[in-house]
């Protein structure tokens, strides 16, 4: 079984709809992240969480919200989806003990392809 899972894997929705993307991990990591990937722009950080009570905005948090329901679960919500939120969304985890070092690794889920019509 994959260590980091995301649901759904693909989603088509309409402008104005609320949508939630979910992420679960079995790696026991305390840190979790949400990114979006757009062609030519690379991965951009939306939100990140260092533990259940610690949520931080990334570089492109407008239009998104998150919830860290447990150490293993981190969900991303689009309150009112718009077409420019069409992208590939990745969840990732990392171990705080390696943070900032050359040993740091972020482990990514398989991604959610979201299309907003």
Partner 1 sequence: RKEVEQDPGPFNVPEGATVAFNCTYSNSASQSFFWYRQDCRKEPKLLMSVYSSGNEDGRFTAQLNRASQYISLLIRDSKLSDSATYLCVVTHGSSNTGKLIFGQGTTLQVKP
Nearer to partner 1, 35 or 74 (CB): 35
Residue 31 buriedness (CB in 10 A; 0-12 / 13-18 / 19+): buried
Q: Cβ neighbours of residue 102 under 8 Å, at least 6 residues apart?
A: none
CB of 20 to partner 1, least distance (A): 20
Length of the chain: 117
Query: Footprint of partner 1 on residues 40-59 (CB under 8 A)?
Result: 40-45, 48, 50, 58
Q: Within 10 A of 83 (CB to CB), how many other CB atoms are there?
A: 10
| Residue (78 or 109) nearer to partner 1, CB | 109
CA distance 52 to 37: 25
Least distance to partner 1, CB of residue 80, Å: 27
Strands 31-38 and 10-13: unpaired
Do 114 and 85 meet the contact criterion of CB atoms below 8 Å apart?
yes
CB of 107 to partner 1, least distance (A): 8
Binding mask 77-116 for partner 1 (x = CB under 8 A): -------------x---x-x--xxxxxxxx-xxxx-----
Q: Give the binding-site size for partner 1 (rule: CB under 8 A).
A: 26
| Footprint of partner 1 (CB under 8 A) | 31, 35, 40-45, 48, 50, 58, 90, 94, 96, 99-106, 108-111
């Amino acid at each position: 079984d994959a260590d980091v899972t995301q649901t759904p894997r693909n989603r088509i929705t309409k402008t104005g709809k609320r949508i939630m993307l979910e992420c679960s991990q079995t790696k026991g990591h305390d840190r979790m992240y949400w990114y979006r990937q757009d062609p030519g722009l690379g991965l951009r950080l939306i939100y990140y969480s260092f533990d259940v009570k610690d949520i931080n905005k990334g570089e492109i948090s407008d239009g998104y919200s998150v919830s860290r329901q447990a150490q293993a679960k981190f969900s991303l919500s689009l309150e009112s989806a718009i077409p420019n939120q069409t992208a590939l969304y990745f969840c990732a985890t990392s171990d705080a003990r390696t943070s900032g070092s050359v040993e740091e690794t972020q482990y990514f889920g398989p991604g959610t392809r979201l299309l907003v019509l």
